[in-house]
Amino acid sequence: MKPRTLHDEPLIFERNPERGPRGTFRLPAGEVPPVDPRATLPAEQLREPLDLLPDLGELEVVQHFHRLSQMNFAVDEGLYPLGSCTMKYNPRVCERACRLEGFTEVHPLEPDGHVQGALELMWELERALVAITGMAAVTLQPAAGAHGELTGMLMIRKALAARGDARQAVIIPDSAHGTNPASATFAGYRALEIASGPDGTVDMAALDRMMDETVAGIMLTVPNTLGVFEHRIVEISRLVHERGGYVYLDGANLNAFVGRALPGLMGADALHINLHKTFSTPHGGGGPGAGPVAVSEALVPYLPVPRVVREGDAFRMVWEDERSIGPMRGFYANFLVLVRALAYIRGMGSDGLREMSEAAVLLANLVRRRLEGAYHLQYEAPTLHEVVFDDTFQKEHGVTNIDIAKRLLDHGFHPPTVSFPLIVHGALMIEPTESPSPEEVEAFCEAMLAIAREAAEDPERLRTAPHGTPVRRLDEVAAARSPVLRWRKE
Ligand SMILES: Cc1ncc(COP(=O)(O)O)c(C=O)c1O
């Protein structure tokens, strides 16, 4: 059985199950007698013989897995405009840099004297992020953006405790990223939601009412999840500081303004940066990513340990500091991600970083300009790195944002983020990033416009999409609640 299209690709177990061993290339038997694992391993660690594996030729196996890989979607394949996730291209040169043996072969338990280059790299990345944010210091420890939020909130908590102030709540706008309330809660605070005004930014009168001596501070996403900048940010910081609170900025969307504005001048006390969203490292929700946190002078004493310090020309790790919140993870950080980030920052330079953010904003505005009118825009405020439309116009024909997303797959594009942020009902959150060519973004817009027309002319075609993918529309609830991840023989 040879599949002609991806749609027919069977499981590897289903390929020629009856066929016996084939005369494919095999290595000759070794001269060293093989060790029988049954002689050395405890019985409970031995698995059943794998007599179910099909006996296939190497090329058949390669073709099978290659076909499976083509069922996936990647930035290397086409536009991936997943708003808030910032699916940008990771330059190959950064991948190359982090594969240098001097980086891959270091062990976290090596003494400082053996790994001076690695410590210097971390120190340099900290300095670069200090310059980019205009803040006083940086910790590289957090493994992801949300982990950075927790780190920042724990520092704020410790700073408040140091002055004997046991505040219990944190104000978070309804336009914040969803991880913000979760992180505040994890740090022991009650999350107080503050509604956005008609322009999608914080309602100052509501903030004035809420910010009292029980509130530890505010967590603001800049630009927020609507792609809108809090233009009264300095005023907001002043009000919070005057009432004894701290300002946490979720700087995950720094890609929208890097090189153009300094969070340090906005009144931030702590701010995390998602290296993957701004500095082109691979994604990693809590895994192989990195979410460094920059802090103001007020929070420097509470930074996590270990910290890299420079003494003359030498570098040293400091593991103990009584005022610190302590370690946020084992060892230093996700080191190879840091190598990529510094390679990217050095490669781009300050002009390159600014141009990168300008290109990201420009392309988001291209999308906005092309799709306005065909898709409904709830907030009129200027668009930065992402634009949030919704399905109000298509709903009139019984078509939802999910149908639109599924139909985009037939046009060869990854769908945008849907149904987030929650304050936009039926949201379609589009973030092209700076990576694609304007022609690619244009082609995406054409596909979106064709879908908008189709919603009026042939809504059923949208409701039953996708039509051209290896698998059709899935039962998403069942897929999430009871995923089948393993093949088992009946
Ligand atoms: C604005 C914002 N804040 C926080 C996060 C959480 O980051 P992470 O997924 O690395 O934990 C994200 C994720 O993309 C984000 O866009």
Q: Give tens-digit pLDDT for 165-222.
A: 999 999 999 999 999 999 999 999 999 999 998 899 999 999 999 999 999 999 999 9
Pairing of strands 417-418, 376-377: unpaired
- In this prediction, residue 285 carries a pLDDT of 46
pLDDT at 429: 97
Name the residue of 272, 276, 277 to mutate for ligand 1: max ligand atoms within 8 A of Cβ. 277
The residue among 299, 322, 277, 15 whose CA lies nearest residue 146 is 277
Closest-CA residue, ligand 1 atom 15, reads: 252
Q: Which of 20-24, 287-291, 436-440 has the highest mean pLDDT?
A: 436-440
Q: What is the number of alpha carbons within 13 Å of residue 360 lying toward its C-beta?
A: 32
Tokens 């030498």 appear where?
A: 314
CATH T-level fold of 350-481: Aspartate Aminotransferase, domain 1 (3.90.1150)
Q: Is the CB of 145 under 6 A from ligand 1?
A: yes
- Nearest residue (by CA) to ligand 1, atom 9, is 285
Structure confidence by residue, pLDDT tens digits, 307-324: 999 999 999 999 999 999
CB-based contacts of 130, cutoff 8 Å, min separation 6: 136, 137, 138, 294
Q: Is 52 helix (H, G, I), strand (E, B) or coil?
A: coil
Say if residue 331's pLDDT is above 90: no
* Residue 20 pLDDT level (bands cut at 50, 70, 90): low
Closest ligand 1 atom to 277 CA: 14
Q: Which of 221-230, 251-260, 277-286 has the lowest mean pLDDT?
A: 277-286
In angstroms, the CA 39 to CA 55 distance is 26
Q: Is 144 in the pocket of ligand 1 (CB under 6 A)?
A: yes
Percent of the chain predicted with pLDDT > 90: 76
User: Relative to the CA of 225, which ligand 1 atom is closest?
Assistant: 1
Q: Give every CB contact of residue 103 below 8 A, 6+ residues apart in sequence.
A: 97, 118, 335, 336, 339
Average pLDDT over residues 364-390: 96
Average pLDDT, the chain: 92
Of 7-16, 280-289, 397-406, highest mean pLDDT: 397-406
Q: Which pLDDT band holds residue 23 (cuts at 50, 70, 90)? A: low
Beta bridge partners of 190: 169
What is the fold of 92-347?
Answer: Aspartate Aminotransferase; domain 2 (3.40.640)
What are the pLDDT digits (tens) for 40-76? 889 888 887 777 777 788 888 899 999 988 888 888 8
Nearest residue (CA) to ligand 1, atom 5 = 145
Q: Where are the domains of the chain?
A: 92-347, 350-481
pLDDT at 415 over 90: yes
Lowest mean pLDDT among 33-47, 252-266, 356-370, 461-475: 33-47
pLDDT at 22: 60
Amino acid at site 168 = Q
Question: Does residue 470 register a pLDDT over 90?
Answer: no
